[in-house]
Amino acid sequence: MTDLTRYCFASLNLLNFASPPFSFYQLHEHYNETQWQSKTQFITGLIEHINPTFIVFQEVFSIDALKNLCGDLGLSYFATVDAPKADAVFSNVLFNPVVAIASKVPFGQVSAFEPCPELLEYLNNQHQFRFNRTPIKCTIELAGFGLITCYAVHFKSQRVHSMAHMLGDSQQDDPLLTLLHKTVGTMQSQISRSLEASIIYYDALKTQREQNCATLVMGDFNDNLCSPALSFMTRSFPPQVNIHERFDSVGLFDSFTFADNTHQFEQKPASHYYQGQGNVLDYILASQQFNPNSSNPLIKSLTYHNFDAHLDPKRDEEDIRYSDHAAIAIEIKV
């Protein structure tokens, strides 16, 4: 019997990965040495447990620290395409964390994802658009499977930008401001997140058709995939499209739906908790090549993992020594 080869793909939001003496967002928000040691030990242990072939990270402030940590774990290939910004006055205070990728196999191409100009024009956003966090687009090639185009993403958060400046001297407890934040502000956040997702989605499907390659879109989506802002990402072609030509090779699917172990879960496990409520915010979307049940499968099996032992649904405040997200992973065998 031929031994099967295992590959694993994972995503982890690190929650403010900023090594001392750096602070995140505010001067008083930082780790002491004990907290940082706990943080790095937690991440190291979790990655060792997952044993990923390829992993994407979100909320990275200290790039070199993460690169060294990954290198020690055999993830020798590491990349970012952007850098955090430092405060103009307090240079140790950092803003705008970035996404990162690490791998045990070499990258083919790695680049900051660039939106298609024609698509931006079509969406009427050709001049002012920019991602809240620049995605990474890369390729890797795996023996026995082939070429994969990977997108590492961290979509716009559900946090609402204040509209106080638009109402003159309005205070934060102004009832009108509160109402506008819950309506217009929330809608703006959804539109921004949906726009980012649609640009990635377009490029993923276009690349699939042009290069006939497998695809993974991985990261913190900051919303449920069934939400109006994101539900289009896994929409199937209407039946009439397949009358003359099959489109099985184009499209994205929640990898959880392909998994051999879905029967072990009553429902897809939460990857984040807010006020005791579980939400699925982190995803690995995959192309048809990752479906072990297709008519001519490339893989023998796919197993979905949700590493959430560090999460406590009853805890109201973040514990910066860990992460406020579960790590998620898919394990395939070829």
Q: What is the pLDDT along the chain (334 residues), one digit of tens a residue?
A: 568 999 999 999 999 999 999 999 999 999 999 999 999 999 999 999 999 999 999 999 999 999 999 999 999 999 999 999 999 999 999 999 999 999 999 999 999 999 999 999 898 876 788 999 999 999 999 999 999 999 999 998 766 556 566 666 666 677 665 666 566 556 677 788 999 999 999 999 999 999 989 999 999 999 999 998 999 999 865 544 444 454 456 899 999 999 999 999 999 999 999 888 999 999 999 999 999 998 889 999 999 999 999 999 888 788 999 999 999 999 999 9
pTM metric for this prediction: 0.91
Other Cβ atoms within 10 Å of 274 Cβ, number: 13
Q: Kindly report the length of the chain.
A: 334
Domain ranges of the chain: 6-156+196-333
- Six-digit token pair at 222? 């900051």
pLDDT in tens, 230-285: 999 998 655 444 444 544 568 999 999 999 999 999 999 999 998 889 999 999 99
- 130-146 pLDDT, tens per residue? 999 999 999 999 999 99
* CA–CA distance, 315 with 321 (Å, rounded to integer): 14
Report residue 273 CA to chain centroid gap: 17
**Which residues touch 183 (CB under 8 Å, ≥6 apart)?**
none
Contact (CB, 8 A) for 138 and 101: yes
Of the candidate CATH numbers 3.90.550.50, 3.40.50.720, 3.40.50.450, 3.60.10.10, the domain formed by 6-156+196-333 belongs to 3.60.10.10
Contact present, 22 and 97 (Cβ < 8 Å): no
- Closest by Cα among 202, 188, 270, 211 to 232: 202
Look at residues 332, 334, 313 and name the one whose alpha carbon lies nearest to residue 324.
313
CB 211 within 8 A of CB 182: no
Q: Give the strands of the sheet with 146-154, arranged side by side.
A: 107-112, 136-142, 146-154, 214-220, 282-286, 253-254
